[in-house]
Amino acid sequence: MFEASRPPDEPCSPEWIRRLPKAEVHLHLEGCVPLDTIAADGARRSGVDFEPQTGTPLFRDLAAFLAILDHSCALVTDGGRLEKIAYEIAVRAAANGVGHVDVIFNPVHWPAWRPDLQGFVGHLDRGFAAGEADMGVTASLCLSLTRTQPPGESVELVDWLLAARPDRVVALSVDGNESVAGHTGRRFAPLFERARGAGFRTCAHAGESSGPEGVRDAVDLLRVERVDHGIRAAEDPALVEELAARAVPLDICPTSNIRLGVVTSLTTHPIERLRAAGVPVSVNTDDPLLFGVSVTDEYLRCTEAFSWEPVVLGEVARTSIESSFAEPERKRWLLAALDHFLEDACAPAQRGKDSSDGGL
Ligand code: ADE
Ligand code: ZN
């Protein structure tokens, strides 16, 4: 969608941004179910409207969006399709310079698989393993609870996680609609404590359908390592200062926030204010097939809207890798690839400068 009018090697050109080594840390499996699944079967029944020109679905708000996920994911009952969905995540990652993905999955949306979560993650594991073998993209899974689910169901899921310790599932998360659920920090806190004690990483959706108080709860009560979205923290300057001082990373999804009505436009999106205030931010797609975006698109849009320079893009990519749940060795490798890429990108300009300095 962006014209590559500049030389591909020029920093901040679409091709340069595409190749910039990065991770994607806020990506829902539910948002990676191909659109034709919905279009073929569920669109009419679930009331999805499609934008006539782009063919992308239109969503009224988060609640309507989550209902569509229920519908589309329920249509995936075959293990081979799950494997393909996972494999395709790796294909898209590789095509966007993404070396590692943290993929959130929420069993609430997958009724066919509720009785066999072990089988569910087994299929995903096979798809991601094939993706790693073919494209070198590593993937971790984050099991997500739902803000609005009955408390006993969340407990059951955490019991399962801790007992099964399935391959590739490295984190506990919580998503869903906080404006419907209200303050749930205290309810979920013991579950996050248990998961942390058992060695799982943690992240939580907050500051999307909740205000700054949701972000505060995620950080202070759930004690998560990373906040998914977190953008409404920008409404509370003291909280912004605290997030910056504690270096709490926010994994932000600009297009999702616009499409779900959290913000009205990219120019008014708080990502730039948060970043400029010293909060570590990464850029992600949330639900790429439903929003019709790629990671490269998201980086490009921010670059154009906020005039991001190579150094800023490098920082954002670094945050994405550092805040990911990749294995330490993999992180070191990706960070080295990023350093190398940035050195290379800046080398011609630097060399030119050095030689003109030397001539004086
Ligand atoms: N599940 C998938 N996308 C989501 C979002 N943006 N917010 C909450 N839950 C989600
Ligand atoms: Zn999300």
Mapped to the 3 state alphabet, what secondary structure does 152-180 carry?
HHHHHHHHHHHHHCCCCEEEEEEECCHHH
Query: What pLDDT was estimated at residue 349?
Result: 52
Ligand number nearest CA of 73 is 1
- CA 278/CA 133 separation, integer angstroms: 37
Q: What are 267-282's pLDDT values in tens digits?
A: 999 999 999 999 999 9
Q: How are the residues of the chain apportioned to helix, strand and coil, as percentages rounded to the nearest 5?
A: 55, 15, 30
Say which residue, 47 or 18, is predicted with more confidence: 18
Q: Which residues contact 303 (CB under 8 A, 6 or more apart)?
A: 12, 17, 313
The model's confidence at residue 9, banded by pLDDT at 50, 70 and 90, is confident
Sign of CA dihedral 202, 208, 210, 213: positive
The model's confidence at residue 136, banded by pLDDT at 50, 70 and 90, is very high
**Inter-helix orientation angle 185-197/151-164, to 10°:** 10
User: Does 39 have pLDDT greater than 90?
Assistant: no
pTM of this prediction?
A: 0.93
Structure tokens at 341: 């890429």
Instruction: Calculate what percentage of the chain has a pLDDT beyond 70.
Output: 91
Active site residue 208: yes
Query: What pLDDT was estimated at residue 355?
Result: 46
Relative to beta strand 281-283, strand 250-252 is parallel
Distances (CA, A) of 42 to 107, 113, 114, 250: 19, 19, 20, 33
Average pLDDT (274-293) is 97
The model's confidence at residue 62, banded by pLDDT at 50, 70 and 90, is very high
Q: What are 202-249's pLDDT values in tens digits?
A: 999 999 999 999 999 999 999 999 999 999 999 999 999 999 999 999
Return the residue whose CA atom lies nearest to atom 7 of ligand 1: 176
Ligand 1, CB cutoff 6 Å, lining residues: 28, 30-31, 62, 69, 175-176, 205, 208, 256, 286-287
Say which residue, 182 or 123, is predicted with more confidence: 123
Pocket test for ligand 1, best of 145, 146, 149, 208 (most atoms within 8 A of CB): 208
- Please say whether the structural domain 25-343 has been given the CATH code 3.30.50.10: no
Q: Which residues contact 219 (CB under 8 A, 6 or more apart)?
A: 227, 242, 243, 246, 248
Q: What are 63-97's pLDDT values in tens digits?
A: 989 988 998 899 999 999 999 999 999 999 999 99
Lowest mean pLDDT among 294-298, 326-330, 334-338, 345-349: 345-349
Average pLDDT (146-173) is 97
The model's confidence at residue 41, banded by pLDDT at 50, 70 and 90, is low
Pocket test for ligand 1, best of 59, 68, 175, 179 (most atoms within 8 A of CB): 175
User: Does 350 have pLDDT greater than 60?
Assistant: no
Ligand number nearest CA of 29 is 1
- CA 306/CA 308 separation, integer angstroms: 5
Q: What are 189-202's pLDDT values in tens digits?
A: 999 999 999 999 99
Rounded to the nearest angstrom, the distance between the alpha carbon of 256 and the centre of ligand 2 is 8
User: Does 340 have pLDDT greater than 70?
Assistant: yes
Active-site pick, 83, 208, 272, 298: 208
- Taking all residues of the chain, what is their mean pLDDT, rounded to a whole number? 92
